[in-house]
Structure 1
Amino acid sequence: MIELICVDVDGTLVGSSGDVLPAVWEAVERARDRGARLAICSGRPAFGLARELAARLDPEGWHVFQNGASVVHLPSGDTRSTTLPREAVERLVARARETGRALELYSDTDYTVESTGERAMRHAGLLGVPFRPRDLLSLEGGVVRAQWLLSHAEEAAVLVEPHEGLTLSPSTSPVMPDTAFISITVPGLDKATAVHAVAAEYGIALERVMMVGDGANDAGVMRVVGVPVAMGNSEPEILALSRHHVSHVDRGGLIEALDLAARL
C-alpha cells in the first residue's frame, strides 16, 4: 500500500483553468479513507491558495512548500524551514533593482515584491493574495526563498548568471504559460529533502511514497520515492524518470494517480 502521496500544485492539482477538478476531491477522499496521508509538494508558499489546497488535502498533516524551503505542519504551525543568508538576499535585491527584473522574497507566512509590473500582479492573483508592492527588504522574519519572475526569453541567461551559494530551480505554471519561475534556495535543499523529512515525521519508508508531478523541480523527488508518477503534461525529464504515466491535468490525470495508489 502507498502510505504517503505527495502532490505538486501547478500542472498536477491545478489545471490550466486555475481550478481543481471537482472529481479530484472525490479521489482525495477515497485515498484518505484508505488511510493514506496526502501532502502538497509545491514551489508555492505556505499561505494563500496553496495553504487552502493543503488544508483540503490533509488538514492534520505536514506539507512541502517553497520547493522544500518550508515544511509546515498545518495544525500546529511547526516548521522545518531554512533561511537564505542575509548577504545573498541583499545581492539578489541589488541585482533586481539594477536590471528591473521582478524578484519576490518569501518567509513562511508572507512575501514581498517591488515590481509593479503586470507579471508580478498576475502572480499575486495566482497565489491568491492581494497585490501590494513594497520594499523587498521590508519582509519580516527570515527569507526562506527568493524567486525571479521572467519571460522565457530571459530564463536561459539568468540561469547561467552567478548566484553564489544558492540553488536555482526553474518551473512553470499552466495558468501563466508566458512566465518562467526561477526559485532560489540554499544548496542541498529541495523537494526531495523535504519529502524525506515529511516521510520521517510519519515513520513511512520512501519506498511507500508516491510523488505525482510534472515539472523540472519535481525531478529530485521522482528519483528518491518508490512510486514516481508523471502527469501527461509533464516535461520530458519527468516522463523519463517516472514508473507510471497518467493523463493531462485537465483530463483528470491526478484522479488516475490517486486511484493507482490503491492498487499498488
Structure 2
Amino acid sequence: MLALVCIDVDGTLVGSNNEVRDDVWTALEEARSAGIQLVLCSGRPAFGRAREYAERMQPDGWHVFQNGASVVRVGTGESLSSEFPAAELRELLAAAEQSGELLEVYTDTAYASTLRDTQAREHAELLGVPFPPLWPAELQGTPVRAQWLIRYEQLPTVRAITPAGLDLHPAGSPRMRETLFVSMTAPGTSKGSAIRRIAESYDIPLERTMMIGDGENDLQAMGVVGHPVAMGNAEDVVKAAAKYHVGHVDAGGLLEALALARQL
C-alpha cells in the first residue's frame, strides 16, 4: 500500500456537476483509515470549497493549494507558502489594464479580480466564495499567486504579455469548459515542489507516493511521485506522462485510483 496520495480537484475529485460523489468520499475515508496520508493538490485557493474538501479529506494534514504557492496545514493554519514577486505582479496588473483580460490575484486567505464580469461571477460560484471579490488595490496580505482567466485560443497572446520567469500552470475545469485558467507562481513553485516538501515533512519516500490528476498543471507533480495516474478525462499530455490510467471523473475514475493505491 502506498503511503501518500495527492489528489487534484477539478476533473479528478470534482466532476462536471462541481460536486464530489458520495462513494468517492467513502473511498477516501477508507483509504485514510487504512493509513494512507491524503493530500489535496489543487490550483484552487486555500479557502472556499477547496478548503472544505481538504478538511474533510485529511483534517490534520498538509495540503497543496494554488498550484503549490499555498502549502497549508489545515488543522493548525501553518503555512509554507511562496511569495509572488512584486515587480512581476505590477507588470501583470498593467498588462491586464491594457488588454482588458481578467486577472486574479491571491493571498492565502483572499483574492482580488481586475473585472467583475460574468466570467468572474461564474468563477466565484465555482470556488464557493462571495461575489464580487476585492479589487487588487484592496487586497491585504502577501500575494502568492496570480491567474489569467481566458479562452483557450488566447493562451499564446497571454504568454506574450506575461513577465518572463514566472511558472505558468494552465488548467481547465469541467464546470467552466470555455475558460482556461492560467495560474502563475514564483519561479520554482509548483505542485511538484509542494509535494516534495510535504513528503519530506512526513518522512515518506517519493517512490511511495501517488499523484492523480487530469490537467497540464498536474504534470510537475506527476514528475516527482513514484506513481502518476491520469484520469480518463485528462489532457493527452497528462495521459502520456502517467504510469497508470483510470476512468472519467464522472464515471468514478478516482475510485479506481484509490483502489490501486491500496494494492501497490
Q: Give yes or no for TM over 0.5.
A: yes
1:158 aligns with 2:158: yes
d(CA) in 1 for partners of 2:175 and 2:96? 24
d(CA) in 1 for partners of 2:72 and 2:164? 27
Partner of 2:184: 184
Does the 8 A contact of 1:2 with 1:209 survive in 2?
A: yes
Tell me the number of residue pairs that the alignment of Structure 1 and Structure 2 aligns. 264
SS class of match (1:90):
helix
- Unpaired segments ≥5 residues, structure 2: none
Partner of 2:43: 43
Partner of 2:107: 107
1:2 aligns with 2:2: yes
SS class of match (1:177):
strand
Instruction: Kindly state the Cα deviation for residue 164 of structure 1 after the two structures are TM-superposed.
Output: 2.7
Partner of 2:143: 143
* Aligned amino acid, residue 211 of structure 1: M
Distance 1:161 1:93, change over 3 A: closer
Q: How does 1:151-230 map to 2 (within 5 A)?
A: 151-230=151-230
Does the 8 A contact of 2:92 with 2:162 survive in 1?
A: no
Partner of 1:236: 236
Partner of 2:21: 21
SS class of match (1:142):
coil
- Unpaired segments ≥5 residues, structure 1: none
Does the 8 A contact of 1:114 with 1:133 survive in 2?
A: no
SS class of match (1:95):
helix
Q: What do you get for the CA RMSD once the two structures are aligned?
A: 1.0
* Aligned amino acid, residue 263 of structure 1: Q
Moved over 4 A (4+): none
d(CA) in 2 for partners of 1:145 and 1:89? 9
Partner of 1:126: 126
Q: How does 1:248-259 map to 2 (within 5 A)?
A: 248-259=248-259
Instruction: Kindly state the Cα deviation for residue 139 of structure 1 after the two structures are TM-superposed.
Output: 1.0
d(CA) in 2 for partners of 1:241 and 1:19? 27
Instruction: Kindly state the Cα deviation for residue 114 of structure 1 after the two structures are TM-superposed.
Output: 2.7
Partner of 2:59: 59
Instruction: Kindly state the Cα deviation for residue 133 of structure 1 after the two structures are TM-superposed.
Output: 3.9
Q: TM-score, normalised by structure 1?
A: 0.98
SS class of match (2:23):
helix
SS class of match (1:184):
strand
Of the structure 1 ranges 210-219 and 126-135, higher mean CA displacement relative to structure 2 is found in 126-135
Does the 8 A contact of 1:55 with 1:74 survive in 2?
A: yes
d(CA) in 2 for partners of 1:165 and 1:246? 34
d(CA) in 2 for partners of 1:250 and 1:162? 34
Of the structure 1 ranges 60-69 and 148-157, higher mean CA displacement relative to structure 2 is found in 148-157
1:76 aligns with 2:76: yes
Instruction: Kindly state the Cα deviation for residue 162 of structure 1 after the two structures are TM-superposed.
Output: 4.3
d(CA) in 1 for partners of 2:142 and 2:29? 36
